[in-house]
Structure 1
Amino acid sequence: DTGRKLASATVTGVIGESVSEFTDPQGDDNGPGGYTYPTNGAFREEEGAFDLRTFTVFETDDSWRFAFEVESLYDAFGGEFSPHYFVVYLRDPETDTGRTTEIGDLNVTAEFAEPWQYRVRASGFGGGVVNASGTNLGSPETFVELDTNLAVLSVPKESVGGTDISDWEVLPVVGSESFGSFRDVQVGEPGEFV
């Protein structure tokens, strides 16, 4: 009644119903155990730039939204965010079709225990959705909240088969982006940009 402000807060909302949420321990952003950040100050190792904290799948009437919360989200190179790279693999456990390797366009070598059917990826400069054959199915829309360290990749349901994926398996990956793929990982001493 006096007009004096007592408190304020910022709330970030993601439209949609939460289908599933995963939490990830803090401080485990070293890959299989021995990866180090590039030495250039843009990569902010001390802030945990590539440290995934939560991953949530949301559903709206016409889209699936994949929310990546990292320890520190920022923009070092002039995109919506950078140098972060967010990728999620989707797998329908009811089918054996798909692939158990990477397509070869992300500068990554991977063997998957079970086949995946779709991959969604985004950096602060763009992204894409592909099926296991590598067919381009469009680009995700991104929603970014640097203040809350949250990046959301939204794809139309028809981009991933137009089906209910709420009981599918997901594999979220966070890494460093370099010109549309993952940044090089090299054996030896860390370099300024590897």
Structure 2
Amino acid sequence: MYRKFIIIFLIAIIFMPGVIFSNDDFDNEYFETIYYGEDPAGDDYGPGAYRYPGHRVFQPGEGHFDLKSFEIQAFNSEYRFIFEFGEIENPWDGKYGFSHQLIHMYFDTYSETGQSELFRPGARVKLNPDFPWDYHLQFSGWWLRLMDTEDDPDDLVRDILNVDAEISPWDVYDINVEVLDSKIILELPEEYLGDIQGSKFYLLVGGFDPFGEDNFRPVQNYRTNWSFYYDQYLDESNNFVQEEATRVIDYFYPEPGYQEEFLGVNFDEISYLKPIKIPLPEKTFIELIRDYSYLIAFIYSIISFFIISYILYFIIRSASDE
């Protein structure tokens, strides 16, 4: 009986490293939230004085561009981005189930490359030079595009007969998109962005216009059916310059009042935007061990050698005594 116990103990020592260093796939049977944040509600007015276009497809004049929350989930080799809006409709039969929203994201993944200028200038905002971006994602109801700093912004072909307006070399097709109530859910393979935990991102929301600059719906200082309207009576500064005014209707930032302060109707007066950080995951004890797997495996091998040698010596000696 005593020898059986010793044999079981030896087997446990031999196979223990396999348990410690194996992949715990049983913990990854669901999407895990790696970032969640809420944006102030009712701030779909750009710097504070923008109003919706007058056409009936934009009624009730609020909600369509009001990003209420944003969530990033991860599962194995895939990311899920969840954009929650006040209103989601599809009057122009967008391929992915929505028509109004244009989403631009910039990711700072701390690579050796990076740039702080916008990929193309249509959004009319300033990104923080301390946090240069590595990947740029554009998302509309008809396409998803992904660029990096090596791509040429001029690699576009205009197509005035196509609702896409531009034929792009950056289109990504192996994605899943679902519109569920007030949420747009995008599933994107991780290979496009790499590991984004611990990185930073900028999230801009504008109105999709197939013929607008960089597909942003323009802003005018007079009311029209198809352009956003700048209401000078709601802005004490009244420094609106149409060619320089931001076209971002909602900037994702959980702090109330931030958007009004950092967006602007005159590009010279716009402040550098702050990105949002995706936190690093809190590691379990087993994951911490895996970080030093080679060192621990070496130490474990030496200790195991001495323990097993001593036990075998003890068994041989006991047998000889009998």
Q: TM-score range by the shorter chain?
A: 0.7 to 0.9
Aligned twin of 1:81: 98
Aligned twin of 1:38: 53
| 1:30 to 1:53, Cα distance in 2 relative to 1, 3 A | same
Answer yes or no: is the 8 Å Cα contact 1:64–1:154 preserved in 2: yes
Answer yes or no: is the 8 Å Cα contact 1:64–1:156 preserved in 2: yes
Q: How does 1:92-171 map to 2 (within 5 A)?
A: 92=109, 94-95=110-111, 97-104=113-120, 107-113=122-128, 114-134=131-151, 138-139=171-172, 141-147=175-181, 149-160=182-193, 162=194, 164-171=195-202
| 1:63 to 1:138, Cα distance in 2 relative to 1, 3 A | farther
Aligned twin of 1:7: none
- With the length of structure 2 as denominator, give the TM-score of the two structures: 0.50
Q: Which runs of 5+ in 1 are unaligned?
A: 1-14
**Which has more helix, going by share of residues?**
2
The structure 2 residue matched to 1:174, chosen from 174, 183, 205, is 205
Cα deviation for residue 143 of structure 1 reads 2.1
**Which has more strand, going by share of residues?**
1
The structure 1 residue matched to 2:84, chosen from 48, 53, 69, is 69
Q: Secondary structure at the match of 1:42?
A: helix
Cα deviation for residue 50 of structure 1 reads 0.3
Q: Which runs of 5+ in 2 are unaligned?
A: 1-29, 153-168, 228-322
- Cα offsets for 1:6-36 (capped at 9, x unmatched): xxxxxxxxx6211010101111111111221
Task: Provide the C-alpha distance between the structure 2 equivalents of 1:42 and 1:134, rounded to a whole number of angstroms.
Answer: 35
Cα deviation for residue 95 of structure 1 reads 4.5
Task: Provide the C-alpha distance between the structure 1 equivalents of 2:144 and 2:185, rounded to a whole number of angstroms.
Answer: 12
Q: Secondary structure at the match of 2:116?
A: strand
Aligned twin of 2:297: none
Structure 1 runs of 4+ with >6 Å offset: none
Which structure: larger Rg? 2
Task: Provide the C-alpha distance between the structure 2 equivalents of 1:70 and 1:99, rounded to a whole number of angstroms.
Answer: 29
Task: Provide the C-alpha distance between the structure 2 equivalents of 1:133 and 1:38, rounded to a whole number of angstroms.
Answer: 36
Answer yes or no: is the 8 Å Cα contact 1:86–1:174 preserved in 2: yes
- With the length of structure 1 as denominator, give the TM-score of the two structures: 0.80
Answer yes or no: is the 8 Å Cα contact 2:44–2:62 preserved in 1: no
- Cα offsets for 1:13-70 (capped at 9, x unmatched): xx62110101011111111112211111112344411000000011121122221100
Q: Secondary structure at the match of 2:132?
A: strand
Answer yes or no: is the 8 Å Cα contact 2:54–2:224 preserved in 1: yes
The code of the aligned residue for 1:152 comes to I
Aligned twin of 2:219: 185
